[in-house]
Amino acid sequence: MVERKRIVEDLRKILGRESVEDDELTIKLYSRDAAYIEGSALAVVFPKSTDEVSALLSYAYRRDLKIYPQGSTSELVGSSTPSDDGVILSLSRMNRIKEYSVVDMYAIAEPGVRLVELNEVLAEVGYMFPIDPASVKSATVGGAINSGAGGMMGLRYGTMKDAVLGLEVVLPDEKGTVLRLGGRTTKYRAGYDLIRLIVGSEGTLAVVTEATLKIVPIPENIVSIAAFFPSLDDLVNAVVELKRRGINLYIAEFLDSQTVDAAKVMKPRIQGEGNLLIISVDIAREAADRMLLMLEEIMKENNASAVFKASSMKEAEEMGIFDMRRGFYPASIKIAAERRRDVERRSIFFIEDISVPPSRLAECVKRIRDLAEKHNVNITLGGHIGDGNLHPNVWFEEGDEEGKRRALEFLDELMKLAIELDGTISSEHGIGTTKKEFLLMEMERKEGLKALEIMKEIKRAFDPKGILNPGKLW
Amino acid sequence: MVERKRIVEDLRKILGRESVEDDELTIKLYSRDAAYIEGSALAVVFPKSTDEVSALLSYAYRRDLKIYPQGSTSELVGSSTPSDDGVILSLSRMNRIKEYSVVDMYAIAEPGVRLVELNEVLAEVGYMFPIDPASVKSATVGGAINSGAGGMMGLRYGTMKDAVLGLEVVLPDEKGTVLRLGGRTTKYRAGYDLIRLIVGSEGTLAVVTEATLKIVPIPENIVSIAAFFPSLDDLVNAVVELKRRGINLYIAEFLDSQTVDAAKVMKPRIQGEGNLLIISVDIAREAADRMLLMLEEIMKENNASAVFKASSMKEAEEMGIFDMRRGFYPASIKIAAERRRDVERRSIFFIEDISVPPSRLAECVKRIRDLAEKHNVNITLGGHIGDGNLHPNVWFEEGDEEGKRRALEFLDELMKLAIELDGTISSEHGIGTTKKEFLLMEMERKEGLKALEIMKEIKRAFDPKGILNPGKLW
């Protein structure tokens, strides 16, 4: 207790009184993530500059103090959860968009800038930052970098790993060394790529204090089609045919039929029976009709029933083509609430995040449904079919130990299934604390254990005392 | 000598007699790269499988034997040059395309597969692997990975760092550990990204024995325009206007006016006076005319004289729109030959590879020309204006020590200029041996020296004895 008081006083000397909070409520607020994984901490600090972060890390190094960097804590795997003997480092007050250039196609932002804010500014000049996690409204630049975020447009633009040109980071060493990596150009060679090592490192290597991000022009026109398929095989066959014809898909999303039924509680504007496929293609206005006809033909050849077409993004939004896909999470929550046995209890969700090669998707979805039946758990199921990224959601009621056990057994088999089908246990959500065992399992099965040893040595090279976000990844 | 004999005998026992060559001619052939940087070696080995590579590295580890992995040695910075106490590991006999899938959008290839071969196979199904270094006809998958290659389409598709989904590598440790990293899906999270650490590592971390590469559909249609501008400012202003209008450029290349003059020795089919800009945009056939009109308008508004338009790639090839850009290197060599004072002597080229943000390009080119004048060196100058990647070529006659000194002084100032203009000393060619000092300079000037220390620790984690391609990078 005395120790804690001294640390808080030291932090106030370093960062100023207004940048250090140690009241219980603030700490509680910053100690849990979007999956309700909770921790505690000695204090929350809000530095306003790189120099302050540097002073903080230098102090932490000398005092062996654990530091937990944080964006908006919208992550889902416990990667931002602190421990009670550590300090939460919120980057929320470093939130300036420093500059951007459409000619040079980059934007420079501090870590606390929310992706949605960045895109509002860029939209004015016809550009965007194309990484769009579902949490895009709250997710920050720093958080997205550290969690290696992806999204619906991952099929075209990849993930954060493909989108960071340069970084300024602070190292957890004696001096709190400030390191500038990369630059402002796409092509950049300077020895080993430390930038992409930090992207996706879940705050365990260095604290990002500035990022130079690759930006792209907003496509001139995007056509979209939504179609409902009686069977998953039909839906996957339609996707196979799209790829076979070399159509350069912009977005390709799906929900399985049981999830489509469930999503109806959200009153989506387009409705149909069966498995939902949504396809967007960026194409010039003059060719919109041709493309839509071709897409429609492919859908119908593969037994689609209801088909909805939009020749522009504006029209797609007016028709509500994305309603069901966007309503995926809210619908899951609503269904969970409706099926709840005890209304006093909230539902605890696992929002899962496996990938399999898209050609294995029909098999994967069927086997996931079988697993859900076997373990008697409720699930909803959809995701990014273009890149094979599935988000099965499973839940149980708080306090229902039997339900929790069943959910965990389901997850265990789900992960094994992903690995069996040449896929992966984590695609864009990360490892954090909840997937440490699954990462180990995947590494074991893929002749990758030595990789974990190398990663631990890399961790030591950046963070010799292990004070930065400890307890994550392994 | 006895030592050498024993090593060669051991290697023959491990790999078979037919996979080990130790005659002088073979060694000489494999000991120099495309920039004529030469070394020597004890032997050249040609393993045919991952197991053989593993056995070789295990032997090398136990014997402290240096190993120099090699693709087609088309690199330009000495990164594949061996030392006389080491063994050249040629991956040329591991050259199978193992599988590919247009549905899952990947191709799996051994390191010795040439990029051009891969693209021939993929073209049959309407797909391509989009990383296209100038050496694409000889460059191999393994070489391109290790040198982090880029190319003309880097503006759209990035470099090798953006194109590798999975790797099988062999580590230079006691067992010759085989490590499988990543997978077959774009989205992949498994702790730190070791794949992108190995891409661009110039053969210093691990030997790549298999790669899973991201493939993309060949665009349906591509329009192109070539225009000649009286001044560089005009040319850059045209590019600025293209970006400002949000046109999603596919290719954007340029040659400066003196290089355009020089390139005429190659008898290009399109000709004009001034600085050459070539723009390609992928757009549906129906919109080709509209796009070409817009491009033409922007060129003319910025004082372009001769303008050449092609509404498809086929037409562009028939017209010879890319002749001058492709003839850039051959033209440089021809000019060098013509200006040679001693016909017996060959010309030694430095094919340089800096980047600056495209908005700084006009300034950069002018200052490069001033530097060339100051140091009295011949240069040609062009590159990828879309991503700011410039390739100034400078040469001197073999044996002309004075000319060499002037070329080196020019290069030294060129690198300082790149750094001053927020650019980088290497974009897609790497560091090898020729740019070690410049890398150090760049790191020093950008607060990045600590990064070098971290890189060295990473090197130790992969290669504790330092036997893999030693002497490169630093």
Which of B104, B220, B457 is closest, CB to CB, to A461?
Answer: B457
B448 and A181 within 8 Å at the Cβ level: the answer is yes
pLDDT tens digits for range B331-349: 888 888 888 888 888 888 8
B426 and A126 within 8 Å at the Cβ level: the answer is no
How far, in Å, CA of B432 to CA of B472, rounded? Answer: 5
Q: What percent of chain B has pLDDT over 70?
A: 100
Region B141-157 average pLDDT: 93
Buried b (16+ CB within 10 A) or exposed e, B126-135: ebbbbbbbbb
Angle of CA points A89, A90, A93, to nearest 5°: 130
How far, in Å, CA of A298 to CA of A464, rounded? Answer: 56
B194 and A451 within 8 Å at the Cβ level: the answer is yes
> Following DSSP, what letter does each residue of B221-261 receive, concatenated?
-EEEEEEEESSHHHHHHHHHHHHHTT--EEEEEEE-HHHHH
Confidence of residue B135 (pLDDT cuts 50, 70, 90): confident
pLDDT tens digits for range B347-381: 888 899 999 999 999 999 999 999 999 999 999 99
- Tell me the C-alpha to C-alpha distance, in Å, between residue B13 and each of A386, B7, B207, B272, B314: 48, 10, 21, 62, 52
Chain A with chain B: Cβ pairs closer than 8 A: 291
Q: Does B192 touch chain A (CB under 8 A)?
A: yes
Q: Mean of the per-residue pLDDT values for chain A?
A: 94
* Cβ-Cβ contacts under 8 Å, A460 against chain B: 457
Confidence of residue A137 (pLDDT cuts 50, 70, 90): confident
**In degrees to the nearest 10, what's the CA dihedral of A271, A273, A277, A280?**
-30
* Cβ-Cβ contacts under 8 Å, B422 against chain A: 183-184
A186 and B460 within 8 Å at the Cβ level: the answer is no
- What token pair was written down for A31? 């100690």
How far, in Å, CA of A416 to CA of A399, rounded? Answer: 27
A429 and B179 within 8 Å at the Cβ level: the answer is no
- What token pair was written down for B160? 């090798």
Which of B162, B243, B450 is closest, CB to CB, to A102?
Answer: B243
CA distance A55 to chain B (A): 17
Confidence of residue B188 (pLDDT cuts 50, 70, 90): confident
How far, in Å, CA of B252 to CA of B152, rounded? Answer: 8
Q: ipTM score here?
A: 0.94
Buried b (16+ CB within 10 A) or exposed e, A281-312: bbbbebbbeebbebbbebbeebbbeebbbbbe
Q: Could you tell me the strand order of the sheet in which B66-70 lies?
A: B20-21, B43-45, B86-90, B66-70
Helix axes A288-301, A232-244, angle to 10 degrees: 140
pLDDT tens digits for range B37-91: 889 999 999 999 999 999 999 999 999 999 999 998 888 888 989 998 999 999 9
pLDDT tens digits for range A379-421: 999 999 988 999 999 999 988 999 999 999 999 999 999 999 9
| pLDDT for res B444 | 86
Query: Hey, is B54 helix, strand or coil?
Result: helix
Pairing of strands A106-109, A207-214: antiparallel
How far, in Å, CA of B205 to CA of A257, rounded? Answer: 47
For B433, counting Cβ atoms within 10 Å of its Cβ (0-12 exposed, 13-18 middle, 19+ buried), the class is middle
Q: Mean of the per-residue pLDDT values for chain B?
A: 94
| pLDDT for res B330 | 85
Give the closest residue to B195 by CA, choosing from B148, B158, B132. Answer: B148
Cβ atoms A58, A177 nearer than 8 A: no
Q: Does A286 touch chain B (CB under 8 A)?
A: yes
- In the stretch 136-175 of chain B, residues with CB closer than 8 A to chain A read 148, 150, 154-155, 158-159, 161-162, 171
pLDDT tens digits for range B260-289: 998 888 899 999 999 999 999 999 999 999
The DSSP letter of residue B264 is: G
- In the stretch 210-239 of chain A, residues with CB closer than 8 A to chain B read 216-220, 239
Which of A150, A247, A462 is closest, CB to CB, to B187?
Answer: A150
How far, in Å, CA of A81 to CA of A469, rounded? Answer: 8
Q: How long a stretch of residues is chain B?
A: 474
| pLDDT for res B1 | 63
- Tell me which chain B residue has its CA closest to the CA of residue A200: B192
Q: Does A101 touch chain B (CB under 8 A)?
A: yes
| pLDDT for res A291 | 98
How far, in Å, CA of A211 to CA of A110, rounded? Answer: 6
- Tell me which chain A residue has its CA closest to the CA of residue B384: A187
Question: Position B117: which residue type?
Answer: E
Query: Hey, is A268 helix, strand or coil?
Result: coil
Is the pLDDT assigned to residue A261 strictly greater than 80?
Answer: yes
Is the pLDDT assigned to residue A1 strictly greater than 70?
Answer: no
Give the closest residue to A101 by CA, choosing from A165, A40, A154. Answer: A165
Which of A193, A283, A442 is closest, CB to CB, to B197?
Answer: A193
Picking from B98, B128, B171, B187 by the largest number of A CB atoms within 10 A of its own CB, the best residue to mutate is: B187
The residue whose two tokens read 């094979």 is: A388
Region B311-320 average pLDDT: 96
| pLDDT for res A36 | 81
Cβ atoms B90, B117 nearer than 8 A: no
The residue whose two tokens read 């071969």 is: B117
> Following DSSP, what letter does each residue of A329-360 receive, concatenated?
HHHHHHHHHHH-S-TTSPEEEEE--EE--GGG
pLDDT tens digits for range B388-420: 999 999 999 988 999 999 999 999 999 999 999
The answer to which of A273-277, A460-464, B395-399, B463-467 has the lowest mean pLDDT is B395-399
Domains of chain A, first to last:
2-92 (3.30.43.10), 97-217 (3.30.465.10), 222-326 (3.30.70.2190), 328-455 (3.30.70.2740)
- Tell me which chain A residue has its CA closest to the CA of residue B237: A103
* Cβ-Cβ contacts under 8 Å, A430 against chain B: 189
Q: Does A355 touch chain B (CB under 8 A)?
A: yes
- Tell me which chain A residue has its CA closest to the CA of residue B420: A183
- In the stretch 256-275 of chain B, residues with CB closer than 8 A to chain A read none
The DSSP letter of residue B346 is: P
Region A20-28 average pLDDT: 95
B287 and A290 within 8 Å at the Cβ level: the answer is no
Region A70-94 average pLDDT: 93
How far, in Å, CA of A164 to CA of A151, rounded? Answer: 15
| pLDDT for res B9 | 97
Per the rule left: phi > 0, alpha: psi between -120 and 50, beta: everything else, B270 is: beta
| pLDDT for res A173 | 97
Q: Does A344 touch chain B (CB under 8 A)?
A: no
A103 and B188 within 8 Å at the Cβ level: the answer is no
| pLDDT for res A62 | 97
How far, in Å, CA of A110 to CA of A97, rounded? Answer: 6
